[in-house]
Amino acid sequence: MIPSRHEAPTPLADWMSALDDARPLHTLTLPGSHDTCAYTVDDPLVRTQRAPLDAQLAHGVRLLDIRCRHRRDAFDIHHGGIALGMSFDDVLADCTRFLDAHPRECIVMSVKDEWPAHACTRGFDATFDAHCARHPRLRWHAGGALPSLGDVRGAVVLLRRFRSSRPLGIDLTAWPDNATFTIDHPDAAFVIQDEYRVPVAGSIHYKWRVIEALLSRMPSPESGRWAINFCSGTGMGANPSVVARGDGRVQGIQARLAERLREQRGTCGAMLLDFCDDDDWVLVRALVACNEHLPASGGRRRLVGC
């Protein structure tokens, strides 16, 4: 069913509410933010976002890239070695408020052990548990299988990039540096492009080729394989803003992706953006709209309201 142009669009804060419960999460196009919390600093080599976390969620971002340093049995949010002045409790509080207000949405959260631990008496997984215990209203989907949307409405789906002494979330610890790769578990398979090294502006062409290569070879919904595509990159001669926006001579990733999405039909997987609020969230809106082209059972509303 193609929605009428006269139907009221679903607001971006609630775009998942328009989708069928039975739809596997890995078959959706999910807008994500790379280094979600790197909006608190002005260093051009560190900053990857402008909009705060609560605004990202309200405008449709559904995959969060959270990087933690384990320090004194607590998690500080980091980008590499740079502390961002936030704690994991701040992140969980924002997620709790959002899901309380929008219980038919879900959040996918990648949690990474980002920097060597300091003065800790327990493992990273134990401190993760301690943080979660302080936010009892926040429900986690911590199973290892790829879920359907209906199973995780109102919950956070954990993509685990840290060691754990027990099964916890979807295990992505076998993540190589600066690569396109696959990870295969019996109940969860992935193809991930995370080639982030962009030494100079001229290297943006290569970064775009690896993004587009994954877009052009998306796994079929039946494959059970989740595609995650990082649109971010950085280097001493091309900071994240230059990679995203270009430098006046070389077109940035954002403009190339906007053009590509005008032709895209069907899922794009999860796509992680830098400066995801640029041009009034235009790329987030375009990614949400890709879900309109997926087959659905029954009617649904148009997905790209304001």
Q: Which range is least confidently modeled, 91-95, 123-127, 216-220, 289-293? A: 289-293
- Give the per-residue pLDDT at 300: 45
Would you state the torsion angle of the CA atoms of residues 197, 203, 208, 211, taken in this order, to the nearest 10 degrees?
-20
Question: Quick check: 77 and 112 in contact, CB under 8 A?
Answer: no
Question: Quick check: 215 and 258 in contact, CB under 8 A?
Answer: no
Q: How confident is the model at residue 10 (pLDDT cuts 50, 70, 90)?
A: confident
Phi and psi angles of residue 84, each rounded to the nearest 5 degrees, phi first? -100, 5
- Print burial letters for 266-289: b (CB count within 10 Å at least 16), e (below 16): ebbbbbbbbbbbbeebebbbbbbb
> Closest Cα partner for 32 from 48, 10, 11?
48
Question: What pLDDT, in 10s, does the model give residues 205-214?
Answer: 999 999 999 9
Which of residues 193 and 263 earns the better pLDDT score? Answer: 193
Phi and psi angles of residue 115, each rounded to the nearest 5 degrees, phi first? -150, 155
> Per-domain residue ranges for the chain?
12-293
- Give the per-residue pLDDT at 266: 82
Question: What pLDDT, in 10s, does the model give residues 175-193?
Answer: 999 999 999 999 999 999 9
Q: What one-letter code names the amino acid at 217? A: R
Compute the residue count for the chain: 306
Which tokens in the block code for residue 171?
């295990």
- Give the per-residue pLDDT at 137: 98
Question: Quick check: 97 and 84 in contact, CB under 8 A?
Answer: no
Distance CA 102, CA 264 (A): 28
Which tokens in the block code for residue 58?
């309200």
Architecture of the structural domain at 12-293: Alpha-Beta Barrel (3.20)
